[in-house]
Amino acid sequence: MPPRRALLLPLLVLGGCIAHGPRNAPGRVVVEQPPPADQIHCSEPQVPEDPGERYVTVSTGLSFGGGPAFNRSDDIGALYALAVEASLHLGSRDRSHRDDAPLLLIADEKYWPQRSLALNLGWHLLERKGEGPAVGAGYAELQAFSMNALASGVAAGWAVDIADEAHGPQVTLFTLGFMYIRVRHLLDRGTDLMFGVQYKIPFSYVWSR
C-alpha cells in the first residue's frame, strides 16, 4: 500500500465516511438560455432557497458503562457492561454541505443528520453476573436524535438475555454524542441503571432533497 494511503486509513476509521449522491433538487434549467418573456412572472430577482439534504447513516461502535442494580435475583448490587451497537439513521438537514466546526470530534455535523429516527441493535458482549463476567443481554431500540440539542436523543426498546431467559423494557438517554444513561428492567431478574460512554463511527450517504 502506498505511504499516503497508509496514513489516511487510520483517519478514515476514526472519523467516519460520507458520500454525496448525484441526485439534485427538482428542476432542470439551461443557464445560458433565458426563459420566454411570457413565462416571466416577476420583475425582481428571486433568491434561491437551500433545499437541504437527506441522510442515510449507518454507525457502529462500542460502549462501556456501569452503575447500581436493584432487586436483582442474583444479589448483584452493581454491574458493568461492554457492548457493541449498530444503528441505522434516516434523517435530514436544512442546509446543504454543512461544514461547521464540530461540537466534538465524535459529533461532527458533517457526518450525521441534523435530525433523524434510528434503529439501534446492540449486545452486551461482557457483563457482570452472579458467576462473574459473562455474555449479557441483546437489545433493539427505536431512537430519536437531534444535533441541534447538543447531539442528544432518546431511545426505547426491548432487551433479551438468552442465557438467563429474561427479557424486559429498556430506555436510553444520551447527550454530546457519547455520554448515555440507560435503564433496563428484565422481568423476574431486576432493574439496572447504567452510566457510560460510547464511540460510534458513522458512514453516511447524502443527497439533495
| Whole-angstrom distance, CA of residue 171 vs CA of residue 102 | 27
pLDDT of residue 27: 53
The region of weakest confidence among 60-64, 126-130, 137-141, 203-207 is: 126-130
Structure confidence by residue, pLDDT tens digits, 69-112: 898 877 788 889 999 999 999 998 888 766 665 555 556 677 88
Distance CA 99, CA 111 (A): 10
**What is the share, in percent, of the chain residues with pLDDT greater than 70?**
79
Chain-centroid distance, C-alpha 94: 18
Q: If you search the block for the grid coordinates 438560455, which residue do you land on?
A: 33
Higher pLDDT, 6 or 133: 133
Q: How far is CA 40 from CA 27, 31, 44, in A?
A: 16, 15, 10
pLDDT reported for residue 131: 73
Q: Give the residue with greater pLDDT, 1 vs 154.
A: 154
Determine the pLDDT at residue 11.
42
How far is it, in rounded angstroms, from Cα 63 to Cα 65?
7
The pLDDT of residue 187: 93
Task: Give the per-residue pLDDT at 8.
Answer: 43
- What distance in Å separates the CA atoms of residue 146 and residue 64, rounded to the nearest whole number? 22
Q: With a cut of 70, say whether residue 3 has pLDDT above it.
A: no
Alpha-carbon span 114 to 108, nearest angstrom? 10
Domain-wise residue ranges, the chain = 3-22+47-208
The answer to whether residue 49 scores a pLDDT higher than 70 is yes
Average pLDDT estimate for 115-124: 95
pTM score: 0.76
**Cell digits of residue 189:** 431478574
Q: Which of 198, 170, 195 has its CA nearest to residue 59?
A: 198
9 backbone φψ class: left, alpha, beta (φ>0; ψ -120 to 50)? alpha
CB distance 126 to 135 below 8 Å? yes
